[in-house]
Amino acid sequence: MNRQQLIADVAQRADLPASQVGKVIDALRDSIATAVSAGDKVTVPGFVTIDRGHRAARTGRNPQTGETMEIPAAYTVKISAGSTLRSAVKQ
């Protein structure tokens, strides 16, 4: 499902204009990105938890040359499915 299909589906289910749903989805995306980049955890109970993780620096190996190299530390995004989403996928 792409963005336009998501907007159309939510608009139909919520009986709202697609333009409003598009604005809500954009605002939701921005709110989540701002919170996670600030180090906050975003939880929608039963659906999803989004959190910022940290990957430590490590030594890696170039697969073409076999040469060792340092991979710098980095922030990542952790996403965990909630119980309702997991149950929906199992069916």
Q: What confidence tens digit (pLDDT) does each residue in 18-52 have?
A: 999 999 999 999 999 999 999 999 999 999 999 99
pTM over 0.85: no
Looking at residue 10, what is its pLDDT? 96
The ranges assigned to domains in the chain are 1-38, 41-91
Q: Which fold has domain 41-91?
A: HU Protein; Chain A (4.10.520)
Q: Which two tokens stand for residue 10?
A: 């939510």
H or E stretch covering 27 = helix 18-37
H or E stretch covering 54 = strand 48-55
Determine the Cα–Cα distance for residues 81 and 51; give it in Å rounded to an integer: 12
> pLDDT band at 91, cuts 50/70/90?
confident
| 85, 48 contact by CB (below 8 A) | yes
Which of 32, 30, 31, 28 minimizes the C-alpha distance to 6?
Answer: 28
Q: What confidence tens digit (pLDDT) does each residue in 40-89 have?
A: 999 999 999 999 999 999 999 999 999 999 999 999 999 999 999 999 99
